[in-house]
Amino acid sequence: MDLDVNENKRSIDLGGCTVTLVHGGSLRLDGGAMFGIIPKPLWGRSTATDEQNRIELACNCLLVEWQRETDRRVIVETGHGDKYGEKEQKIFGIDPSHWLLPALEALRVDPRTITDVVLTHLHFDHAGGLTHERDGRLVPTFPQARVHVQRRELEDARAGFGIMSGTYRDENLSPIDSAGGWQVHDGEVEILDGIRSLSTPGHTRGHHSIIIEGADRGLIYTGDVMPTRRHVGRAYNMGYDLFPLDNRDSKAKMLGLAARRDWLLAIDHEPEVPIVRVGKEKDWYELLDSDV
């Protein structure tokens, strides 16, 4: 299993399947909200804040390609996208020029060659890159792609379910509706050959994490069940989680699977060390340096 790292590209060969980490942008959110009931004297030891008490978060997306002859090319998660006015840019610390599409263009990946997009859930910092404005109208960023999501998540997004209903944004959904691009799933299913759903509700009711398996090894894309490596602790949920106890159970399920099978984790909002391994630590788990 080889790791190719340069200024614009970080790729992991899982055995016939290559996963490339792609920059989908970055944003800043309130540290207290990100760490929920954990007091700042604890989480602040390892996580820096700005003058507004916000912490830096990445939007780590994945490009999945197969080395055997196939026309499939998959994006996992799309980051925050570029559809933000000046006020929102300041609130969230978003630079709308830095998002998934320019990052893919830097890798010489034509968005028209993406056959499938897989999303853990539909909050704006995960689904915002699904669409962008072109010639004065909103269009799908990946015009040939099917967009895979859990049925419950899509239904909740359309209904604005939850305390953060504003994070389900119509501008990210309607162009996919018009294109007939949704591919909905129910529970833990094989989404595509080599890509499976791992049900991890808690952050939202329809949240799932994504398993990618090659001939040699597997990788789990965490989604928001564990948004950064600082959230590995049992009690380290976000204030944004709709069902914290369910999220804790989902995190234990995901970490346990990765530890037993020696799979990698790709952590969606981790700005420093997004690829890690998992080890057992007494009655819980710890994150280890990846060996790739």
pLDDT of residue 8: 44
Amino acid at 146: R
pLDDT of residue 7: 38
| Cα torsion 229, 233, 234, 237: sign | negative
The mean pLDDT value of the chain amounts to: 94
pLDDT digits (tens, 9 = 90+) for 164-185: 778 999 999 999 999 999 999 9
pLDDT of residue 166: 85
Alpha-carbon distance of 58 to 138, in angstroms, equals: 25
pLDDT of residue 291: 79
Q: What is the mean pLDDT of residues 3-32?
A: 84
pLDDT of residue 158: 94
pLDDT of residue 113: 97
| pLDDT reading at 3 higher than 90 | no
Instruction: Give the percent of the chain with pLDDT over 90.
Output: 91
- Listing DSSP states for 61-79 in one string gives EEEEEESSS---EEEE---
**20 contacts 11 by C-beta, under 8 angstroms:** yes
Q: Categorise residue 198: left if φ over 0, alpha if ψ from -120 to 50, beta otherwise.
A: beta
pLDDT of residue 9: 58
pLDDT of residue 252: 98
Q: What is the mean pLDDT of residues 92-105?
A: 97
pLDDT digits (tens, 9 = 90+) for 228-281: 999 999 999 999 999 999 999 999 999 999 999 999 999 999 999 999 999 999
pLDDT digits (tens, 9 = 90+) for 23-34: 999 999 999 999
Q: What is the mean pLDDT of residues 80-97?
A: 97
Q: What is the mean pLDDT of residues 38-52?
A: 97
| pLDDT reading at 163 higher than 80 | no
**Quick one: CATH architecture of 3-289?**
4-Layer Sandwich (3.60)
- Pinpoint the alpha helices (H) of the chain: 31-35, 40-43, 86-92, 100-106, 124-127, 151-159, 170-179, 244-261
Q: What is the mean pLDDT of residues 96-114?
A: 97
| pLDDT reading at 6 higher than 70 | no
Q: Categorise residue 288: left if φ over 0, alpha if ψ from -120 to 50, beta otherwise.
A: beta
pLDDT of residue 69: 73
Alpha-carbon distance of 126 to 207, in angstroms, equals: 12
